[in-house]
Amino acid sequence: MKPAKERTSLWAKAWYKFRRDRIGMASLGVVLVYLLVALGVWLGLWGQGWSQVDGPMWAPPGPDYWLGTNIIGQDIFERAIYSTRTAFEVGLVVAVLSTLLGGLLGALAGYFSNRWADELILWLMGVLDAIPFFLFVAALAYALQGNPYAMHIAMIATFWTTTARLVRGEVIKLKNFEFVEAARAIGLPRRLIIFRHILPNTFHILLVQATIVFVGAIKSEVILSFLGLGVTDGVSWGLMIAESTQEVQAGHFSNFVTASTFLFVLVMAFNMFSDALQDALDPRKVST
């Protein structure tokens, strides 16, 4: 395994390169603002009146309702703020769990490549990739009888495959390195070799994949909620867009524009942040 000083130096170089990327830092700032909004909702500081029906129908933006009200008099701004929490909740849960699952199965497949464990994991990935995502979610939601976590389970069950493929390829390369051969030579168990010596050297892949999955989970949640297969016990930008379809026909665009803008800014910022992070963590660039 690489010496601690060398690994620290590589991460320090990556952080230095990322800090010099103005677009990356600006996008990180936008993401942190959204995170702050989500934390405020979690702590009950704002966004708690999203479900209250205390305003007139389609009230225009003003001091009482900053972005107006929807068709039944709910505050659009409050609903958009609370939806930020929903987006981060779904994104974080799916990104963390699917990345961990993909990293674990990818490491096992790579270390035991061309054996039965590798063949089984590859077969499972092929089966999941062959099933249309939204059809799989609909079937799972029906099987779980309206369980609010059906969407999360479906995303985790499908999003881990890309991470697993990337980690598998990296592990196949790493397992032939000298530090792994040395670990085998001194008789370390396989689990220690995988989890202590190999997986830590794939962390840059896992980190980048987690950011990509985070964005994918948010976009999928919006689409699923729009179709009625997503959030059932709260509000999200997808539900706001779905309820705005009748409002747009009546000439009221605030609900649609607000939800779309909140979604667009977060997804664009996180995509740019992910690209900058991927460039900063590229081993070929960091080591130079």
Task: Give pLDDT, residue 224.
Answer: 87
Task: Give pLDDT, residue 96.
Answer: 95
CA 19 – CA 1 distance, rounded (Å): 27
Partners of 69 in the β-ladder? 75
Task: Give pLDDT, residue 48.
Answer: 87
The pLDDT tens digits for 117-171 are 999 999 999 998 888 887 887 788 778 766 778 888 889 988 999 999 999 999 9
CA 288 – CA 269 distance, rounded (Å): 28
Query: What number of residues does the chain have?
Result: 288
Domains in the chain, CATH or no CATH each = 78-286 (1.10.3720.10)
The pLDDT tens digits for 206-228 are 988 999 999 999 999 998 888 88
Taking alpha carbons only, the member of 267, 243, 268 closest to residue 255 is: 243
- Across 133-248, where does the E strand assignment appear? none
- What single letter denotes the amino acid at residue 6? E
- Give residues with Cβ within 8 angstroms of 116, minimum separation 6: none
